[in-house]
Structure 1
């Protein structure tokens, strides 16, 4: 009887294992194509006051004809189901299968299965489901570009076709086509309703939100006008609100209706004709289903509130891709996205959205303009790729995207002037920051600094892609440019990098941008760092930064210099200032000198400012990296450092997510607790006397500075004198 039970149990396990294996199939396509297609769909949903508002840069499209194949060996015959988005043919070992089969029988032995798919309107994609033959990113694809290259980049055949590894978003339902991909929604209701006259009203959903308006019990013939507002003032301004819907209703029988375009709002103001009946209004909240992994809590309730609102702000701007803001632009801006990647590594650690965004931004060859047409945004794209590798350890993605890195860098190299530097050329936008009187003329030091860092990134990625020649080239370029930057821009009298050179002469203008980046790029000597901190970062005579976008980098530079106590006060003043004004998410720009509705205006429009902007969420990153102090020291947290700094707090605790588990840290003025699920870490701490730890070796690095090795799976408790 016991043996029978064992046999039955074994059979169940075998069946379950086979079923689980079969579930590994997912939709696949040419790499980057669904990313490009879906970003086009998303970005072209933008409207302003009911008008379509398209992007102003070149939009690429997917390849319309794609060949997929996979070689495999079967120990037994196998039935394989086929799901295809597009018109297709099927071949087994080069022999065509008649018609458009929904399933095929493949005999035992070694075989090659090929599907060629044509689709002009959507991305050609396939889903192959057998017991062992399944579609995944190990399949090879080509758009017939006449040069065979295998997944490792080596020429391996004479058939004249390029094959690369397939793209995938882990879409595992064969009945839902990739083009039908949608984010999930939840019904939500207003927390307050205020009547305006007999027919009209304004709804308050309690905080900034995003989704689709649902009209309940709609009936009659006439007009329904809906005005959206991130503020009450905006929703009530029928002439100046940024987004609205004008509906013409002709419905004989009462029904519910969901509006087709998502909107950002807190307040919704609706006007209806007397001939139209409307019972109520609700919404479907649309969200990205990412896991809430990172956390932070401290002895300071105000700081905790800042962290929570930052995380909510960031989640709202995490959609199919990382976007800038949910009201406008709802576009994939590279500079905004770069900051989102860093916030993501300390909150959701959602690698898929990072990859999708990088692929969507880059588009296809040939390169004819900077990303988003902005010079600095091309550089942020390069930096985002190496950071992705540093945090995830995903070498394959770097190898796959490396050819697109090469072609973009070749475009940039081709735009250098006679001095080997970059300056504005027709078609370029030098952005840097939204700031009054910020000069973009001449050879701007900030752009050269980002260029040098991008060349360093190219050298690092060339090494990962086994491109020795490329490594040497980019490494030499980076070193030469760094040397030139200090020769041309460092002002010995002002102890800082000047802002620009015009007509081959350095200006006297000192700004914060290149100087703060030089600190966390580690381009300065220790003496230069201290000089820059004093003469630039802590100098009120240097023009202040008012956007959260550049405050991100300014505060990072100060944290990198050990100014956590100063930065804590700045965070509470800056982000806390928005909260005191009633913010429920963080804004595109905040200037404490403004009053009342001045805070809502931007771009010459009374409600032009985004009150929910991804770059406003930077405390997530700062608190994780520079207060809890956790950062990878080798790719994928194989090794990492924990260097906590209370910055004036009594205590703090939190979790830092990684690809393979979390790192939990608790710190007060006498004790540090650590538990890690990954790699090998180094806890670095200052103490007046030698710390004491349970079962761990304490190593003194220098006077008053100690190091404790952290192994995964163990609880560490370190007593110290802070």
Structure 2
């Protein structure tokens, strides 16, 4: 029950997060005054130890220890000016909080009046660091504390193995996606704070592997469906409408919600008809001049986009055929299957690009394992990196995770980034330290396209793919019947001594324990059958 008629209840939870360290400050009598401080309420009269006075020109840059979604609360005390003037800067890196942050999609740099003996809250963004500058007269501060706004979602899924780095990668990937589970599933919490259909697929796979409450998936899919009448494309991007079908398939296989699938029928059939007209019997594709976007690093190479796009079309048609058959639409299922087979008549060259190689492999058009495993961390992106991991052998995939995603962690990341290149870390500072003369600024000096410099998001949901991959490729959990009623278990420890974890299903979690040289130990709800396949 809401308190107000026609109100929209926010399902998220507010929590106050104290600062863990002072990165830098000037003009503070006690530089670490705010560290660990839990005060959220102003009051008076005050003991001298309850507040500090800060003068015009003073500043403090605080670290809250991890990427957060939300804002900050300033608690002011007694004395000083009736109204203080401050500047607030949020940063996903120290560099960002020290500079002029990008203002797209949410405000990260602003000046505000601050009342005496009161509380002021500001911000709705992604950040770890906050800098406060005193612009006005002397003012009393009792605390600066972060306000987190998150969904309280217990992790039903889990992963643990003998490699602590992989454990941290799994946990960070899940946390990255969890941060982006706000009113809808966002691409990033700093920017764009929007629902992007292609970006959703790795996020959906992580959500299904980690959480029991998956209600944001249909809510987000329907949000764009209802705002994209056919023949328009999701987010104005042709390939994102392909991803809508794939996302529907992934959700249906996990949850088996037939009533929800029936609600998608007309839109699904419309997409199948529309895209079937783009594929000729000889396998040629006529995309009618549409943008065949895959990921940003391949955006300037049309041949790579078309090669990878063929694989993506094949993935979509295969899943569309399955969904149409489930819905009893036999002719449309046959149409989708036919187009899938036609696509396989032409086998394009991946041109050495891992984005195209992954799509051609997963689309069952060509086995491009050699491309994926040659210099395996070169040409990886945080978005399509998920599909590159899926399309290559387990050992190679683990090595890529350690070197590529591990490098972000080694440079201060607590969530995974919109994009990343291993070349960026050469002679670069960590994101949790101030810029160092003679070194590159890992946040400000790199990026491209829409993520240039400080516009680069350091918490992007599409980068969480390794978490889903570890559950699928190491624990070996592959859902093969709608509603997770049957799971094909193909565990592979590779170079690990042990691995164990749980995977949510509508009937409760499946538990898998693996130990080198021993038979897998599997526990599953009675409604879930397990088909074990061992190499």
Deviations 1:545-576 (A, max 9, x none): 23111111011011xxxx21222111111111
| Equivalent of 1:263 in 119, 125, 132 | 125
State the shift of 1:234 in Å.
0.9
State the shift of 1:673 in Å.
1.6
Q: 1 CA distance for matches of 2:69 and 2:400?
A: 29
Q: 2 CA distance for matches of 1:359 and 1:178?
A: 21
Deviations 1:201-222 (A, max 9, x none): 1111011111121121176345
Q: 2 CA distance for matches of 1:248 and 1:437?
A: 40
Q: Which has the higher strand share?
A: 1
Larger radius of gyration: 1
Deviations 1:304-356 (A, max 9, x none): 12222222212111222221111111111111111111111110133311111
Residue in 1 aligned with 2:14?
185
Q: 2 CA distance for matches of 1:609 and 1:364?
A: 27
Query: What SS is found at the alignment partner of 1:341?
Result: helix
Q: How does 1:205-354 map to 2 (within 5 A)?
A: 205-217=64-76, 220-221=82-83, 223-238=85-100, 243-249=107-113, 251=115, 253-259=116-122, 261-275=123-137, 277-279=139-141, 280-354=143-217
Contact 1:365–1:404 (CA<8 Å) still a contact in 2? no
Contact 1:631–1:641 (CA<8 Å) still a contact in 2? yes
Residue in 2 aligned with 1:360?
223
Residue in 1 aligned with 2:487?
640
Query: What SS is found at the alignment partner of 2:259?
Result: helix
Residue in 1 aligned with 2:354?
512
Q: How does 1:73-92 map to 2 (within 5 A)?
A: none
State the shift of 1:678 in Å.
4.1
Q: 2 CA distance for matches of 1:174 and 1:273?
A: 39
Residue in 2 aligned with 1:581?
411
Q: How does 1:527-546 map to 2 (within 5 A)?
A: 529=367, 532-534=368-370, 536-540=371-375, 544-546=378-380
Contact 1:398–1:464 (CA<8 Å) still a contact in 2? no
Q: 2 CA distance for matches of 1:624 and 1:309?
A: 14
Q: 2 CA distance for matches of 1:422 and 1:179?
A: 45
Q: 1 CA distance for matches of 2:180 and 2:14?
A: 15
Q: 2 CA distance for matches of 1:643 and 1:325?
A: 33
Residue in 1 aligned with 2:49?
none
Query: What SS is found at the alignment partner of 2:199?
Result: helix
User: Are residues 1:668 and 2:508 paired?
Assistant: no
Deviations 1:446-501 (A, max 9, x none): 2233233323333322233333xxx313423432x33433333x2xxxxxx325xx
| Equivalent of 2:60 in 201, 204, 214 | 201
**Cα separation, partners in 2 of 1:543 and 1:586, compared to 1, 3 Å:** closer
| Equivalent of 2:241 in 378, 382, 405 | 378
**Cα separation, partners in 2 of 1:438 and 1:630, compared to 1, 3 Å:** same
Deviations 1:554-601 (A, max 9, x none): 11011xxxx212221111111111111111111111211123245313
- By relative contact order (CA 8 Å, sep 6+), the higher-ranking structure is 2
**Cα separation, partners in 2 of 1:674 and 1:313, compared to 1, 3 Å:** same
Query: What SS is found at the alignment partner of 2:212?
Result: coil
State the shift of 1:178 in Å.
4.8
User: Are residues 1:657 and 2:508 paired?
Assistant: no
Contact 1:339–1:615 (CA<8 Å) still a contact in 2? yes
Residue in 2 aligned with 1:599?
442
Query: What SS is found at the alignment partner of 1:263?
Result: strand
State the shift of 1:276 in Å.
5.8
State the shift of 1:634 in Å.
1.0
Residue in 2 aligned with 1:549?
383
Contact 1:449–1:482 (CA<8 Å) still a contact in 2? no
Q: 2 CA distance for matches of 1:278 and 1:485?
A: 69
Q: 2 CA distance for matches of 1:335 and 1:410?
A: 20
Query: What SS is found at the alignment partner of 1:319?
Result: coil
Query: What SS is found at the alignment partner of 1:309?
Result: helix
**Cα separation, partners in 2 of 1:543 and 1:205, compared to 1, 3 Å:** closer
State the shift of 1:683 in Å.
4.7
Residue in 2 aligned with 1:566?
396
Q: 2 CA distance for matches of 1:518 and 1:208?
A: 35
State the shift of 1:239 in Å.
6.7
Query: What SS is found at the alignment partner of 2:285?
Result: coil
State the shift of 1:680 in Å.
4.2
Residue in 1 aligned with 2:474?
627
Query: What SS is found at the alignment partner of 2:15?
Result: strand
Residue in 1 aligned with 2:529?
681
Q: 2 CA distance for matches of 1:248 and 1:465?
A: 56
Gaps of 5+ in 1: 1-171, 491-496, 500-508, 687-704, 706-722
Q: 1 CA distance for matches of 2:421 and 2:319?
A: 35
**Cα separation, partners in 2 of 1:239 and 1:180, compared to 1, 3 Å:** closer
Residue in 1 aligned with 2:433?
none
Q: 1 CA distance for matches of 2:279 and 2:236?
A: 16
Q: 2 CA distance for matches of 1:442 and 1:667?
A: 39
Task: State the TM-score, normalized to the length of structure 2.
Answer: 0.82
Task: State the TM-score, normalized to the length of structure 1.
Answer: 0.62
